Every structure is written in C-alpha cells, then in structure tokens.
Amino acid sequence: MTTMKKCEEISRQLIAYLDRRADSADRNEVEAHLAECSACHARAEEFQKMWGVLDALPAVEPSLGFDARLQARIAEEPRSRWFGWMVPQPRLAFAMAMLLVVSVWMGNMPNVNSGEGATAGTEQQDFEAIKDLGVLENYDVLSKFDALSEVPAESSPTDQQAKPVDQQSPDQQPATQE
Amino acid sequence: MEHTHALQLYGNASVSYTVDAMIRSDVELMLQVKAGNDESFNVLLQKYRTPLVNFLFRMVREKATAEDLAQEVFLRVYRARKQYSPSAKFTTWMFRIATNLALNSVRDNRHRQMDVSIDAPVEEDVAPIQLPTRELRIDEHMIERDRSEFIRRTIQSLPEKQRVAVLLHKYEEMDYAEIAKILECSESALKSLLFRAYETLRVQLAPLVSAAAAQRAGEGRR
C-alpha cells in the first residue's frame, strides 16, 4: 500500500483518534501511521491547535425572558380534554347548522312537482283561465254585448272611457280608422 | 452529554428543580410530559435551552433569530408529546428538529433559488471571509469580539451539512452515531464529512492558530 493511500485511509480515522472516541484497533493503526508519517503527524497537531481556537468561541446565554415567552406560547396551546372528541369543531358545527336550516327551508317550500294528479289539476286550471280570451278579439260580440247598453247616460269621464268603440264620437276615434 | 449539562445545572442556585428530577433520563422525563406532567417539560427546558440556543446561534449567527428558533423547537416538542415514543434519543430528536429549522431559516434568508443542495457550498451573499495575513499582528489588532466573529463566519462558510456536523461534534459533544442519525448518513460518511470540514477550518483558521501560538510564546518569555 502506498503512503498516499494510507494517509487517505488514516484521515477518516484521525478525528475519532484525536477526540479519543476511536476504538483500540483504530487507535493503534493511527498511532503506527503517525509515527512514520511526518505530514500526517503535523496535520494532527494542527487539528488539535485549531480545536483550541474553536474552544475560544464564547457561548451565549438565552435572554432573561426566554422561559416566560415560551411558557406564554405554551399556555396558548389548546389543552386536550377527555371529552375533547365530543366537542365539535366550530366550522363543522356551522356547516351542520346551515345544512339543517336549508333542509327545513326546502321542506316548507310549495311543492310544484308532487305527482301526476297535481300536475293534471294545475293544467286544467290554466286552461279554464285562458279558454275565453278569444272573445275579447271578437268585435261582433263586443258590439252586441247587452251589459254595455245598461250603462247610465250621464256617466263620469271614467265611464265614457269604458264605452264601446261604435258609441264614441268621431273625434274620439282611434287614429287607425281615419 | 446529558451528564455534563446536568452537572452544570446543579451549580446554578436559581434552578429549583430537585436533583432527583435532573438525574431522570430524558426519555423518562419526556414520557412524563406525555402523561401530562408539565414540570418535567420545564426540567428539559432548563437542561437544553442553553445548548440549543448556542447551536442555533452558531448556525444562524443572530441571537434573536436563534432564540425564536429555539422556542419553536421546544414548542414542537411540546406539541408532539402525545405522539412521543422512545425509539430514539431525546437529543437526537430535538436536534434534528433544530437542524431542520435552522437550515430552513438560513435558506430563507438567502433569498436564493429553490434547489439548494445540502452539500452545496455557501452562496456568495455571505460576505467573503477576509483572512488576516500572517504578517499582520492580529493578536494586537483584533479584539476578542472580532476574533469570535471571525471564527463564527469561518464556520458559517462551511457547507451546511459540514457545519451541522462540526457544531454537533465540537460544541455539543455528541457521539458519531447520534450525529449520523441527525444528518441521516452513515457513521463512515460522517467521519469523512468531519475530516473535510476540519481540514477546511484548519486552513482558514491557521492565522488565528499562529497568533494564539505567538501569544503563548510571548507570555512564556515574560
């Protein structure tokens, strides 16, 4: 094995050797190499000196309010209770309430599509309402409508507006007849 | 590591928690938190807030941001207490959350493109490090604050994964298996990663190493 390759292998164990965490086999191997390799020996010494510099880095202390701030944040945390599973979530409770309201409202709405019988009855009523509308377009029927002849002669202006077309004066004729 | 932090806290008179509570393992404490014991959560908070804030400060280099992120870490641990199962070390879980939050924060601050590889070198928006020359007597001209800032910036200049590995290894003194789990890599890959990271730091911090050696030599002559 070349010295260079050995140095590479030793380098992986060097830190554990220097911090005294290497097992005895690794420790013996590293010590044997350091005894014969001046470069690795010098490097190991520099590592130790560099660690001395790192040790000089001062530690900081947490500020005085650290614990109080943390306790305040913890106090804001929701506490779990044995009946916690029974307490509904606010959003879920709101959704359930809204669903109930909508259900009641829908149930009270007039039911326009509640079966064939009801549909047939509604159609009959609609037909009765419009079946005589054609009479209003029949001029002969309107002109001979007896009920109109019973209108008093002295009638109010409002009544005059209700006269049939053939009893109106010429100046009151619709423009379409001129 | 847990033992070390516990010992540090014993010396603090302001800590009112009992020794019994402090020597309980993190897993035991977390299981008690899961059962609804908030005092156990406070023990974990007292135990890990300083290491966590320091880790995050070295990641993001802003104390206010580091504290905000540390609070978020503790809050997420608290929120997840009901789902906690002791399948991994508590610190592995907590520092994995912290690492993810810190990396997201750093990436957000970069205002950069979306696909940032975890192994990619740091972008140029971090100001290039001005290495002090060996001729300059930095031990005379650089005040302690600048020296610390220089070290922080040098660590910051490492690729993200290397930076996390160094901080967890050097300052949190985690073992290799735990760091490998946090970084989701093999122990062998982690050792190579650490070697590359320390090799970069060795070169970049060489002026400070020389200055420290010169200072020691000067003090020795006096």
pLDDT, residue B58, reads 93
Question: Could you report the per-residue pLDDT of A108-161, keeping only the tens digit for each?
Answer: 877 655 555 556 667 777 777 777 777 777 777 767 777 666 666 654 454 444
Query: Which of B71, B82, B202 minimises the CB distance to A50?
Result: B202
pLDDT, residue A87, reads 54
pLDDT, residue B214, reads 77
> Region A77-96: what's the mean pLDDT?
67
Do the domain assignments include residue A86?
no
Number of domains in chain A: 1
What percent of chain A shows pLDDT beyond 70? 65
- Report the mean per-residue pLDDT for chain B: 80
Query: Which of B75, B188, B205 minimises the CB distance to A50?
Result: B205
Query: CB A60 to CB B54 under 8 A?
Result: yes
| A73 at interface of B, judged by CB pairs closer than 8 A | yes
Give me the domains of chain B, ranges plus CATH numbers.
Answer: 1-112 (1.10.1740.10), 133-222 (1.10.10.10)
Do the domain assignments include residue A30?
yes
Statement: residue A44 has pLDDT above 80: yes
pLDDT, residue A165, reads 44
How many beta-carbon pairs below 8 A join chains A and B? 91
C-alpha span between B141 and B216 (Å, rounded): 16
pLDDT, residue A70, reads 93
Question: Could you list the residue range(s) of the whole structural domain that residue A39 is in?
Answer: 3-55
Do the domain assignments include residue A75?
no
Question: Could you report the per-residue pLDDT of A5-16, keeping only the tens digit for each?
Answer: 688 888 888 999
pLDDT, residue B130, reads 54
- Please report the ipTM that was assigned to this predicted complex: 0.72
DSSP string, chain B: -HHHHHHHHHT-TT--S-HHHHHS-HHHHHHHHHTT-HHHHHHHHHHHHHHHHHHHHHHHS-HHHHHHHHHHHHHHHHHTGGG--TTS-HHHHHHHHHHHHHHHHHHHHHT--S---TTSPPPTTSPPP-PPPSSS-HHHHS-HHHHHHHHHHHHHTS-HHHHHHHIIIIIS---HHHHHHHHTS-HHHHHHHHHHHHHHHHHHTHHHHHHHHHHHHHHHH-
pLDDT, residue A72, reads 92
Query: CB B201 to CB A50 under 8 A?
Result: yes
Query: CB B71 to CB A63 under 8 A?
Result: no
Do the domain assignments include residue A31?
yes
Q: Which residues of chain A lie closer than 8 angstroms to B147, CB-CB?
A: 56
Distance from CA of A36 to the nearest CA of B (A): 21
Query: Which of A16, A47, A53 minimises the CB distance to B151?
Result: A53
pLDDT, residue B59, reads 93
Question: Could you report the per-residue pLDDT of B170-185, keeping only the tens digit for each?
Answer: 999 999 999 999 999 9
Do the domain assignments include residue A109?
no
pLDDT, residue B110, reads 73
User: In chain B, which stretches have pLDDT less than 50?
Assistant: 1-16, 113, 123-128
Interface test with A, best of B62, B65, B76, B151 (most A CBs within 10 A): B151
Identify which has the larger pLDDT, B216 or A98.
A98
pLDDT, residue A65, reads 92
| A52 at interface of B, judged by CB pairs closer than 8 A | yes
Do the domain assignments include residue A94?
no
Q: Which residues of chain B lie closer than 8 angstroms to A73, CB-CB?
A: 71, 75
